[in-house]
Structure 1
Amino acid sequence: MGRYLVRRLLLLVPVVLGAATIAFALVLLLPGDPAIALLGQEVSGSELARFRHLLGLDRPIPIQLGLYFLRMARGDFGTSVTLHTPVLGLISSTLPATLELAVASLVLAVGCGIPLGVFAARRRGRFPDTLAMLVAQLGVSVPVFWLGILLILLFAVKLNWLPSFGRGVPLIAAIATGNLTGLTDSFRHLLLPAVTLAFFNLALLSRVTRWALLEVLEEDYVRTARAKGQRERVVLTRHALRNALLPVVTIVGLQFGSALGGAVVTETIYGWPGMGRLVVQAIGQRDFPVVQGAVLVLALLFSLVNGVVDVLYAFIDPRIRYE
């Protein structure tokens, strides 16, 4: 296991380099001159040349890429050209909000999706199974932006139960200080964005859980356990569910990674001050250092999540051997 962990860590190096190269290339492929976009069309030629030199845009692309790698290796993500703030500071101030939203949505998706899939599998072909799969089909079909707007109209505008914008008190800070008022405020602001982001993942997770569990329930060792007279609950939890978790864990890992970088729409709808919203604003303002830094951090987090998922396989299924 130790050698496997070392190999996984070493594999992060080319992944991060590839992500950094893609982020660098995407910025180059965006239309227009970033210097003109930032300074305006009326800027003088000398001022434009000075600004391009400041950004390093007047150098050959291979040199720009090499300097970019060197800065990343030193932890220097550059400075935002619009906010005049270090990019690393912007990322560190918005990443906790994105992690909070991603974890909350994942807890909702796992806490509801897996039981729903198990419930449907145990009642295969009956009305509860059909109803559960209809809910799952609805979840994978409804656009995120439409669901977010619908929830805002219902719970914020019509019923006035929950806020529709902003983050409120950070959840970890409220828990650490024992601030019950702040904790309530945090949950009130977090609920709608988390439900919006979790709905698709919940639906997908329930379908995968149902499919995986039905496959396992047809295995010979499950029939043997039933033939020995074991109760159905014991057969389900001890023999079937654990072996059905491999594809489920894979989906959960992918969902958490995608929630980190794919919460752009949700964060924009609810004004959630996370990295997705930061990237959208940076793209609109052509703030390339922010875009590059955010893409690199998200790629690194996604790779770490996938590595954790791979390690979990060994604990779920003893048949898997890494050495």
Structure 2
Amino acid sequence: MLPPILQNLRIPVVAAPMFIVSGPELVIAQCKAGIVGSFPALNAREKDGEAPVLDTWLTRIAEELDRHNQANPDRPAAPFAVNQIVHRSNARLDRDIEICHRHKVPIWITSLGARPEVNAAAHDCGGIALHDIINNVFARKAIEKGADGLIAVAAGAGGHAGPQSPFALVQEIRDWFDGPLLLSGAIATGGAVLAAQAMGADLAYIGSPFIATAEANAPQDYKQMICDSGAMDIVTSSLFTGVSGNYLAPSIRKAGLDPDNLDSAGAESMSFAEGSSKAKAWSQIWGSGQGIGAVRDIQPAAARIDRLAREYAAAKARIAQL
């Protein structure tokens, strides 16, 4: 059974946190439209000597969602989530954990390492911890270390996607785990959301379609490239971060590289330190999952969620008639 905070969503969807792209504007729009909005804590960056921007973002999100709830008691906003990159190169982790704990962030999403102390901090402030994994071994470790739920990142997902079929990954996890399970991987329609549930997941985890929204913190060219591309335009490479990820081939060509002949990089080169020269060097290489063939225009996040809700209801009705 899902924890109360993940129940009563308009549709069973959590918006994935996306590097650079996800910020307060997008999160607030997603939550107001009835799905869980999220952002990576590392997206909130400040210059040396300035007050933590993460503190400001969390205050703004909480206040705007509270105003929405007071004005719309019959249509309250969904909760929000913050993603913590727990990789050893993230020098901000301890500070960001303290800020999220102080703000009582309701949903914590952890990536690139399972850390018991992060899960404990989430629980101590009344939140839940979801950990993203790419295989069953990592799934077991995450639960052993105190995560409440799992995000199965399957083949076709944007960002640091796993190589396994969603069918294989979900069935192996459900063989032993009956807690909250989210599925990521080329989910871009309401029918795909229902398919994720039929497969055994509780909720769908959707990122790339929200790049092409008015509220996304992405260059206009990036948004348009999402609309103009499809699954065949996605390239998998470890070159840009040291971990295998999915990227838009047109952006790779635009950077002067051949997407069909890319070098690889080892995990030892992965770094989430602020001001990373590697991050700056590849800032125009744009990530995406394979589901973007369903995205054909740039629109407000609420309109995209309205469409997902209509498609989800239509898929349920269609299946009921079989």
TM-score (structure 2 length as normaliser):
0.25
Q: Which has the higher contact order (CA 8 A, sep 6+)?
A: 1
Q: Which structure shows the higher helix fraction? A: 1
Q: Which structure shows the higher strand fraction? A: 2
TM-score (structure 1 length as normaliser):
0.25
Q: Which has the larger radius of gyration?
A: 1
